[in-house]
Structure 1
Amino acid sequence: MDKLKINIVIAGRTYPLSVNNTKEEEGMRKAATAINKLISMYEQNYAVSDKQDVLAMCALQFASKLEISTIEKGSENTETINKLRELTNLVDTHLK
Structure 2
Amino acid sequence: MSSGQEKESKQITVVIAGRPYPLKIDAGDEPAIRKIVKDVNEKVNRFQMTYTNKDKQDCLSMALLTYAVDLHKAKSSGGNDPALSGKLFQLDALLDQLLD
TM range (shorter): 0.5 to 0.7
Indicate conservation of the 8 Å contact 2:48/2:55, yes or no: no
1:44 maps to what in 2?
49
| Higher-Rg member (1/2) | 1
After TM superposition, list the pairs within 5 Å mapping 1:78-89 onto structure 2.
Answer: none
1:7 shift after superposition: 1.3
Q: Give TM-score, length-normalised by structure 1.
A: 0.67
Q: Which SS does the other structure have where 2:78 is aligned?
A: helix
Q: Deviations over 1:21-55 (max 9, x none)?
A: 22x11221111001100011001111343222111
Q: Give TM-score, length-normalised by structure 2.
A: 0.65
Indicate conservation of the 8 Å contact 1:48/1:54, yes or no: no
1:11 maps to what in 2?
17
> Quick one: distance in 1 between partners of 2:14 and 2:45?
17
How large is the Cα RMSD of the aligned pairs?
A: 1.8
Extract unaligned runs of 5+ from structure 2: 1-6, 81-100
Structure with the greater relative contact order (CA < 8 A, sep ≥ 6): 1 or 2? 2
- Bigger fraction of residues in helix: 1
Extract unaligned runs of 5+ from structure 1: 77-96
> Quick one: distance in 2 between partners of 1:62 and 1:2?
28
Q: Which SS does the other structure have where 1:7 is aligned?
A: strand
Indicate conservation of the 8 Å contact 1:5/1:18, yes or no: yes
Task: For 2:21, give the aligned amino acid.
Answer: Y
